[in-house]
Structure 1
Amino acid sequence: MELKDILDSNIISVGLEADSKEDALRKMSQMLLENKNIDNVDQFVEDIFEREKIGVTGIGNGVAIPHGKSDSVKQVGIAIAVLKTPIKWETLDGKDVKTIFLFCVSNENDAAHDHLFLLSKIAKKIADDEFLAKINSAKTVDEVLACVGGN
């Protein structure tokens, strides 16, 4: 499995308007529901917030990588949102979040491998300042796909 295999323009939003972390996660989860990645928004969001209790997912530089590991997941995916305006989020650097990579993985044992693999691919990209500048300033879904899509 490669990033390009699971990236889907239907679960990417540029200019997403959200006034809070929960609002952003709910809107992103709705995209996942409409794309048939999940079958229950409320359960998925609840599972995201359970994971949030374990540790901070705002990794800094305007990026958050929340994890939706849930029984409501029917198809692995990464929903991506570049927000219209940054929002408050618990982050390692204390700064607001502009871009969210929401991991959508099932609770099945095989999914743990997929989750770690996808996380490592995104982590490598996020470590690159040029990537961060491009993703945070993306104006279209195609720009996001071009930025994230390379393996």
Structure 2
Amino acid sequence: MKIVDLLNPAAIVADLKAEGKNEVLAELTDAMRKAASSLDRDEVIQVLQERERLGSTGIGEGVAIPHGKLKDIDNLLISFGRSKAGVEFDSMDGKPAHLFFLLVAPEESVGVHLKTLARISKLLKNPAVRRRLMEAGDGQGIYDIIAEEEANL
């Protein structure tokens, strides 16, 4: 399953306003709800915050992949956000996060959830991809870069 098959361009925030971790989770949840309006905003945010309490999803190199599982959804949902200023996210390397993929998966899914996390990690491991995403003009530009770079994975 490709990232672009799961990521609706409407769920991309090219300029996150959030200045803290919980604000990022809320803003990306709101973006996700543009593509999946039936989601319960408070429930999604609660699940994400619970996951963050277990350990930060800030993987370093300016990247964070907050994720969680919900009972009442049928398929994996993704939103993406970019913060040019950066947000303190308790990342492994102690640096602010700039690029965020938020994933919400059905409670019983394991394989697709883990494969998608691995695919995102692989995509964002490349410094050139991270740089291109930081320099992209808008949400559609970000989506196009993800699609183009994912074809090379």
| Structure 1 length-normalised TM | 0.89
Which one-letter code corresponds to 1:61 in the other structure?
A: E
Instruction: Please report how far the alpha carbon of residue 72 of structure 1 lies from its aligned counterpart in structure 2 after TM superposition.
Output: 4.8
Displacement over 3 Å in runs of 4+: 72-75
| 1:1-151 equivalent positions in 2, closer than 5 A | 1-36=1-36, 39-108=39-108, 111-149=109-147, 150-151=150-151
Is the Cα–Cα contact under 8 Å of residues 36 and 75 in structure 1 kept in the other structure? no
* CA distance in 1: counterparts of 2:58 and 2:38, whole angstroms: 23
Q: How many pairs are equivalent?
A: 149
Contact 1:17 1:83 (C-alpha < 8 Å) held by counterparts: yes
- Cα distance, 1:90 vs structure 2: 0.5
Mapped partners of 1:78, 1:37: distance in 2: 13
Aligned mates of 1:99, 1:55 — CA distance in 2 = 18
Q: Aligned letter for 1:99?
A: L
- What 5-or-longer segments of structure 1 have no aligned partner? none
The offset of 1:57, in angstroms, is: 0.8
Q: Is the 8 A contact 1:37 1:73 kept in 2?
A: no
Cα distance, 1:55 vs. partner?
2.0
**What is the rounded CA distance, in whole Å, between the counterparts of 2:72 and 2:41 in structure 1?**
8
Identity of matched residues, %: 26
Contact 2:89 2:96 in 1 (8 A): yes
What RMSD, in angstroms, separates the aligned Cα atoms of the two structures?
1.7
Gaps of 5+ in 2: none
Contact residue 38 and residue 44 of structure 1 kept, 8 A:
no
Contact conserved, 1:38 with 1:75, CA < 8 A, in 2? Answer: no
Amino acid in structure 2 at the alignment position of 1:89: F
Q: Residue 138 of structure 1: CA displacement?
A: 2.2
CA distance in 2 between partners of 1:2 and 1:81 (Å):
18
| Contact 2:11-2:33 within 8 A present in 1 as well | no
Q: How far apart are residue 35 of structure 1 and its match? A: 1.9
